[in-house]
Amino acid sequence: MSFDVQKIRQDFPILQRKVNGYPLVYFDNAATSQKPQVVIDSIVDYYSNYNANIHRGVHSLSQEATDVYELAREKIKQHFNAKHNHEIIFTSGTTHSINIVASGYSEILQKGDEVIVSAMEHHSNIVPWQMLCEKTGAVLKVIPMNEEGNLLVSDYDTILSSATKLVFVNHVSNALGTINPIKEIIEKAHQYGAKVLIDGAQACSHILPDFQDLDVDFYVASAHKMCGPTGVGFLYGKSELLNILPPYQGGGEMIKEVTFKKTTYAELPHKFEAGTPNISGGIAFGVALDYLSAIGIDAINSYENELLNYATEKLLEIEGLKIYGTGKEKTAVISFNIEGIHPYDIGTIVDKLGVAVRTGHHCAQPIMEFYKIPGTVRASFAFYNTKKEIDIFIEAIKKAKMMLS
């Protein structure tokens, strides 16, 4: 199938709207992607035609909802090449997934154990581990990064030791777009018997990780960055690891048997899925994966790279503009500042011209601290964006610069 961006754009109703009187140019895809009509329709279809609670009713409607929901789990398993369906835990998103693992290990790790995080993590892949360290007395170590926004893997080699129990790194940095060498990071950790959690929140809409090939221990992501709805995501874990982790929440659905003396827990995946889940969200996530697969992640990736290169070239023509995150391996994210101008002011002016970008620290304050800046303007592209939109964006940035200089 050839890549026809104009045809693809017709799948996204929101791309037709205007913002502040201008056609919307949506370059905040790293915050959340837009949703194609098929995903929106699948939510309406669930509530219109087979809304029922799952895993509990003998009645037909509940069975039907259960089957479609479980099919979504199967789709996630297949898409990322996990070994078993029960290794896919539905969660409310990346943050929830990380907290399940961090909270579980806080009952396993001991004083003196070490955990390693990278210098370019989103706060949701830092704070839960700091909480774990506070509870257990484990020590948090950091893989540093360089000016280009690449991790210093040679420093990782010196931090790793037999005391290392866990390593957590994002697959792609949300603030810089850097694609981290996760296969190498995982292999090295495994040489010391440490387990690795990869935060794939920014990766899965651009690249396709193969969980078995990576031999990753835990991988987490959110549906809403992959054309799916908000409030749903997954935690992948190898079953032998998920089996030793204690449950995160107690309640219905996650038990085998409850008496006032003792409760036994359900098997995977239900052990980690207490309460009624986001049923329509899970189903729509499956539909979003089908949608992305039909276009092809490789085709998406190479088209987005074209946009990235085009926009990078044009931005660098603007005097005083500096891009943060200049490594070779990048997704279509550009973080930048213009000398003497606050990023927030640029974001506000371009919004008046219909251009949506994110400004600020992007929930990655340690990166801002590294570059000694308050924040950046971040433009993040998706496969439904166009070069024409980039031209509009560049003009808007130039106008903002003129007004603010």
CB-wise, 66 or 359, nearer to ligand 7TS? 359
Closest CA to 39 of 238, 165, 226, 302: 226
The nearest distance, CB 8 to ligand 7TS, in angstroms, is 23
Q: Which stretch binds ligand 7TS (CB under 6 A): 11-19, 89-97, 108-116, 267-275?
A: 89-97
Query: How many residues bind ligand 7TS, per CB under 6 A?
Result: 17
**CA–CA separation, 40 vs 37, rounded Å?**
5
Q: Does 164 bind ligand 7TS (CB under 6 A)?
A: no
Among 93, 104, 149, 347, binds ligand 7TS (CB under 6 A): 93
Residues 349-388 that bind ligand 7TS (CB under 6 A): 358, 362-363
Q: Which stretch binds ligand 7TS (CB under 6 A): 46-54, 160-168, 198-206, 319-327?
A: 198-206
Residues 251-290 that bind ligand 7TS (CB under 6 A): none
DSSP 73-115: HHHHHHHTT-S-GGGEEEESSHHHHHHHHHHHHTTT--TT-EE
Q: Does 199 bind ligand 7TS (CB under 6 A)?
A: yes
CB-wise, 68 or 115, nearer to ligand 7TS? 115
CB-wise, 33 or 174, nearer to ligand 7TS? 174
Q: Which stretch binds ligand 7TS (CB under 6 A): 90-98, 181-189, 260-268, 310-318?
A: 90-98
Q: Does 91 bind ligand 7TS (CB under 6 A)?
A: no
Q: Does 95 bind ligand 7TS (CB under 6 A)?
A: yes
Among 77, 122, 141, 270, binds ligand 7TS (CB under 6 A): 122
User: Is the distance from CB of 264 to CB of 255 less than 8 angstroms?
Assistant: yes
**CA–CA separation, 290 vs 286, rounded Å?**
6
List residues bridging with 359 in a β-sheet. Answer: 377
Q: Which residue of the set 133, 204, 227, 363 is catalytic?
A: 363
**CA–CA separation, 222 vs 241, rounded Å?**
21
CB-wise, 177 or 286, nearer to ligand 7TS? 177
User: Is the distance from CB of 367 to CB of 176 less than 8 angstroms?
Assistant: yes
Among 29, 150, 180, 202, binds ligand 7TS (CB under 6 A): 202
For 146, phi and psi rounded to 5 degrees? -110, 180
Q: Does 99 bind ligand 7TS (CB under 6 A)?
A: no
**CA–CA separation, 364 vs 376, rounded Å?**
11
DSSP H helical segments within 149-296, as ranges?
153-159, 182-191, 211-214, 239-244, 279-295
- Alpha carbon distances (Å) from 22 to 7, 15, 26, 393: 21, 11, 12, 12
Pair of tokens at residue 359: 């400004």
Binding mask 218-247 for ligand 7TS (x = CB under 6 A): ----x-------------------------
Contacts of 141-144 with C-beta under 8 Å, sequence gap 24+, read 141/114, 141/115, 141/116, 141/117, 142/116, 142/117, 142/118, 143/116, 143/117, 143/118, 143/119, 143/169, 144/119
**CA–CA separation, 213 vs 221, rounded Å?**
18
CB-wise, 142 or 404, nearer to ligand 7TS? 142
CB-wise, 15 or 201, nearer to ligand 7TS? 201
Q: Does 31 bind ligand 7TS (CB under 6 A)?
A: yes
- Alpha carbon distances (Å) from 199 to 51, 102, 147, 216: 32, 13, 22, 11
Q: Which residue's C-beta sits nearest to ligand 7TS?
A: 174
Is 363 one of the annotated active-site residues of the chain?
A: yes
The nearest distance, CB 279 to ligand 7TS, in angstroms, is 18
Q: Phi-psi category of 55—alpha, beta or left, where left has phi over 0 and alpha has psi -120 to 50? A: left
Helix/strand number for the chain, H first, E second: 14, 17
**CA–CA separation, 118 vs 133, rounded Å?**
15
CB-wise, 66 or 91, nearer to ligand 7TS? 91
CB-wise, 65 or 292, nearer to ligand 7TS? 292
Q: Does 201 bind ligand 7TS (CB under 6 A)?
A: yes
Residues that bind ligand 7TS (CB under 6 A): 30-31, 93-95, 122, 124-125, 170, 174, 199, 201-202, 222, 358, 362-363
Known catalytic residues are: 363
